[in-house]
């Protein structure tokens, strides 16, 4: 796995020549995709005009009772995003939030030196939301290993094709803990947001062999055959090493709200259409794009979505509907997202980043690299090695892991 980073512009030119030969109808194909994506964008705009949000919502009870209806599932798949409400009780989340604040304050988190932030997002217009680089507080551990999130993630993973052609791509009902950080964004913060982007690399989506397989139908006989939820080849896609690039396989990115937040509170924005990626992938093949340019893709950086190349998509950028403590937000790994540039609200906007990384070989390898950092209180392996929690006496230890938590962390076998 890997991409030769020595001659990327040359590789891009070669790829463009190859694809142009393979698909003489690229322009027409792009126009068809554009019109399909336009339908989604129009729908998103219609909701917005009515003061509503196109992102579908379900409740935790519906998942627990297995009563989410088919139409809702179709909507979730089309938008590649969903709010799952009331996963945790407000009391539980209040306790976690207070405990997390106490953990940060009493251990002097905010008094530490600026560690020199990673540069993964540095080409995006704004740099960095207020994210605290703690991975091992007890509230984070408890939320990650909760039975509630296990149920939600099993449901969401099952929307994917997780086995086909005699191969199990991942176990939808077995989670691997991908330890991530927390957001504690203070009211009045005007400097820290994230411009629209897609994670999971940028040039890799065109140049990586497994990524090419993932998107092969977009360049094959019928682009309509492309299924954003087909797990084949996804667990082994290529990545160019860079700080803050996720090396695990995630079916969904996501977070759990610790405080109320909605439009204006410095929170998440999405362009909720799973076909947006098809538009992004074909856009560089149009005549107005220089040969070595992949429209917002720079090696080692997130895929940027820009007015210059993706103005249609940007019309569909919406802030998530207001969420309350204990609600969770999920989006497909190819879905464009951003963080509002300003926090104009009155209260801290806080989340725990907990997505879904189901059990597969790739994620098992990641767990192997994550175990020792957990035991030592160091930063999780995908992130800058700030290691703030090494000397936090009250961080979680292996004794805080439940049976489920031990399996999710790779300390115990599932069977």
- Give the interface with Fe ion as residue ranges (CB under 5 A): 199
Q: Which is nearer to Fe ion, 327 or 334 (CB)?
A: 334
Task: Give dist(CA 48, CA 249) in Å, integer.
Answer: 32
Q: How far is the CB of 175 from Fe ion (least distance, A)?
A: 20
What are the DSSP E strand ranges found in 341-383?
349-353, 358-359
Task: Give dist(CA 20, CA 22) in Å, integer.
Answer: 5
Task: Give dist(CA 356, CA 11) in Å, integer.
Answer: 33
Q: Which is nearer to Fe ion, 199 or 340 (CB)?
A: 199
Closest CA to 304 of 192, 180, 183, 194: 194
Task: Give dist(CA 205, CA 211) in Å, integer.
Answer: 5
Q: How far is the CB of 393 from Fe ion (least distance, A)?
A: 32
Q: How far is the CB of 257 from Fe ion (least distance, A)?
A: 17
Q: Which is nearer to Fe ion, 270 or 396 (CB)?
A: 270
Q: How far is the CB of 160 from Fe ion (least distance, A)?
A: 20
Q: Which is nearer to Fe ion, 104 or 244 (CB)?
A: 244
**CA 212 centroid distance within chain:** 20
* Cβ-contact 314, 340 below 8 angstroms: no
Beta-bridged to residue 253, according to DSSP, are 331
Q: How far is the CB of 121 from Fe ion (least distance, A)?
A: 8
Report the sign of the C-alpha dihedral through residues 256, 259, 261, 264, in that order.
negative
Q: Which is nearer to Fe ion, 302 or 401 (CB)?
A: 302
Q: How far is the CB of 338 from Fe ion (least distance, A)?
A: 8
Q: Which H or E run contains 13?
A: helix 8-22
Q: Which is nearer to Fe ion, 184 or 268 (CB)?
A: 268
Q: How far is the CB of 199 from Fe ion (least distance, A)?
A: 4
Contacts of 74 (CB under 8 A, 6+ apart): none
Return the structure tokens found at 161: 């094709």
Q: Which is nearer to Fe ion, 258 or 338 (CB)?
A: 338
Q: How far is the CB of 71 from Fe ion (least distance, A)?
A: 29
* Cβ-contact 283, 310 below 8 angstroms: yes
Q: How far is the CB of 72 from Fe ion (least distance, A)?
A: 25
* Cβ-contact 237, 204 below 8 angstroms: yes
Closest CA to 409 of 382, 355, 372: 372
Q: Which is nearer to Fe ion, 148 or 382 (CB)?
A: 382
What are the DSSP E strand ranges found in 115-271?
131-132, 163-164, 167-168, 171-175, 182-185, 194-198, 253-257, 268-271
Q: Which is nearer to Fe ion, 83 or 232 (CB)?
A: 83
């Amino acid at each position: 796995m890997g991409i030769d980073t020595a001659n990327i512009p040359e590789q891009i030119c070669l790829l463009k020549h190859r694809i142009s030969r393979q698909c003489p109808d690229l322009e027409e194909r792009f126009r068809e995709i554009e019109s399909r994506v336009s339908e989604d964008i129009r729908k998103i705009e219609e909701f917005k005009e009515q003061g509503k949000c196109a992102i579908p919502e379900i409740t935790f009870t519906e998942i627990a009772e297995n009563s989410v209806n088919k139409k809702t599932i179709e909507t979730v798949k089309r938008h590649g995003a969903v709010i799952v409400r009331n996963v945790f009780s407000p009391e539980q989340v209040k306790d976690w939030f207070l405990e997390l604040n106490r953990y940060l304050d009493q251990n002097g988190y905010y008094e530490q030196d600026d560690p020199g932030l990673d540069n993964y997002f540095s080409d995006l217009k704004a740099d960095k939301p207020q994210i605290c680089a703690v991975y091992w507080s007890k509230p984070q551990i408890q939320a990650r290993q909760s039975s509630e999130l296990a149920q939600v993630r099993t449901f969401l993973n099952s929307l994917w094709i997780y086995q086909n052609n005699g191969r199990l791509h991942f176990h939808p009902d077995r989670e691997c803990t991908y330890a991530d950080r927390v957001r504690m964004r203070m009211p009045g913060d005007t400097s820290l947001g994230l411009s629209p982007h897609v994670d999971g690399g940028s040039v890799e989506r065109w140049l990586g062999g497994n990524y090419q397989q993932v998107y092969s139908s977009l360049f094959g006989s019928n682009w309509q055959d492309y299924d954003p939820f087909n797990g084949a080849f996804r667990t082994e896609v290529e990545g160019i090493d860079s700080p803050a690039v996720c090396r695990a396989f995630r079916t969904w990115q996501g977070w759990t709200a610790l405080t109320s937040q909605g439009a204006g509170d410095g929170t998440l924005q999405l362009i909720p259409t799973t076909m947006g990626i098809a538009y992004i992938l074909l856009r560089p093949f149009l005549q107005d794009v220089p040969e070595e340019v992949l429209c917002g893709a720079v090696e080692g950086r997130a895929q940027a979505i820009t007015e210059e190349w993706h103005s249609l998509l940007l019309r569909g950028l919406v802030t998530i509907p207001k969420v309350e403590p204990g609600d969770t937000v999920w989006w497909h790994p190819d879905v464009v997202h951003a963080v509002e540039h300003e926090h104009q609200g009155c209260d801290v906007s806080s989340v725990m980043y907990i997505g879904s990384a189901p059990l597969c070989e790739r994620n098992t390898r990641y767990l192997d690299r994550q175990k020792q950092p957990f035991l030592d209180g160091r930063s999780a392996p995908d992130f800058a090695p700030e290691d703030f929690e090494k000397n936090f006496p009250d961080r979680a230890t292996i004794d805080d892991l439940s049976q489920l938590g031990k399996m999710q962390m790779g300390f115990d076998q599932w069977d």
